[in-house]
Structure 1
Amino acid sequence: MLEEAALKELILEHTRRVNAKDVEGLLALYSPKVRFEDPVGAGAQQGHAALRAHATGAVTSNAVELAGTPVAAQDGAHAAVPVVATMDYLPLGPVLTRHGVLPAPADPTGQRMQFNFLMVIRAGADGLIEEMRAYWGASDVALVDAAQGGKNA
């Protein structure tokens, strides 16, 4: 069981390591048996190898996560934080376009995607994240010009 402050710090550290493009540091926050779903409804994945591939995709897309104020549950295991993330449309955006989430942009290289989502984690007694779920739907994703939602947004 973790103190509320530790849970809040853990979930914020996730966003810091994404912003630092530190995939290995991000993985260090997670249990090797982590179960994650991003977005919820897309199917759960498990383990460091799957998380590494997922995080590498975000880093390759120049993801920037701006976290809101985290909250922690009284159970000593769960925390949640609202996040606004931007990332380049390429290389991952065409998948969202094929699924009808986003329209195809006229200039894929000049576009970024903006996601508004809620990240929820469950940590184990060892302080590692055992489960992460990202809640977002089609109405929570939009295209933004790279100049407006720049790589350091």
Structure 2
Amino acid sequence: MPSEPERKKVAIAYCERVTAGDVEGILELFEPDAVIEDPVGTGPVAGHDALREYYRNIVDNYGSRIETGEARGSHEDTFVALPIVVTATIGGKASVVNSVDVFEINDACRITRMWAYWGPSDIR
């Protein structure tokens, strides 16, 4: 099982790769059958093919840049929570989204699930 610092590094690497626009690098962090929900309540995106399409859209249309807060671990050897601030172009204008992303990370140190907690009032 990966240590808590190793799991936190995966969550940080995810943010770095999204900021870099590295879709294939993002996918390397996920298990092939991984599921994300971003934001929670909008339905799941599952598997590498769907994730590739999802992140290609993010990279091509939003130009997201992510700044991270301090990652938080759990007493279980699975979860990491990461407060983030995303700057992106939404509807043609720069917007800032405050989120808390929660990652479930397996024994292989890969993401199996990711939930992004943000809503309309978290966009400015």
Provide structure 1 residue ranges, at least 5 long, that are not aligned to the other structure. Answer: 94-107, 143-153
Rounded to whole Å, the distance in 2 between the matches of 1:58 and 1:44 is: 16
Residue 88 in structure 1 maps to residue 89 in structure 2:
yes
Stretches (4+) displaced over 6 A: none
- SS of 2:100's partner is strand
| 1:125 CA drift (Å) | 0.9
Specify the code of the residue in structure 2 equivalent to 1:68.
G
Rounded to whole Å, the distance in 2 between the matches of 1:81 and 1:10 is: 11
Which of 100, 115, 121 aligns to 1:118? It is 100
Residues 47-93 of structure 1: CA deviation (Å, up to 9, x unaligned): 0111112211221121100011001112111001000001112xxx4
Rounded to whole Å, the distance in 2 between the matches of 1:66 and 1:9 is: 14
Hey, what does 1:44 align to over in structure 2?
Answer: 44
- SS of 1:72's partner is coil
Q: Number of aligned residue pairs: give it.
A: 123
- SS of 1:59's partner is helix
Which has the higher Rg, Structure 1 or Structure 2? 1
Specify the code of the residue in structure 1 equivalent to 2:27.
L
Q: How is 1:24-43 mapped onto 2 (pairs within 5 angstroms)?
A: 24-43=24-43
Specify the code of the residue in structure 2 equivalent to 1:65.
I
| 1:141 CA drift (Å) | 0.8
Specify the code of the residue in structure 2 equivalent to 1:57.
N
Q: How is 1:1-153 mapped onto 2 (pairs within 5 angstroms)?
A: 1-60=1-60, 61-89=62-90, 93=91, 108=92, 111-142=93-124
CA contact (8 A) 1:18 1:59 kept: yes
CA contact (8 A) 1:120 1:133 kept: yes
Rounded to whole Å, the distance in 1 between the matches of 2:58 and 2:96 is: 12
Moved more, 34-43 or 55-64: 55-64
TM-score of the superposition, structure 2-length normalised?
A: 0.95
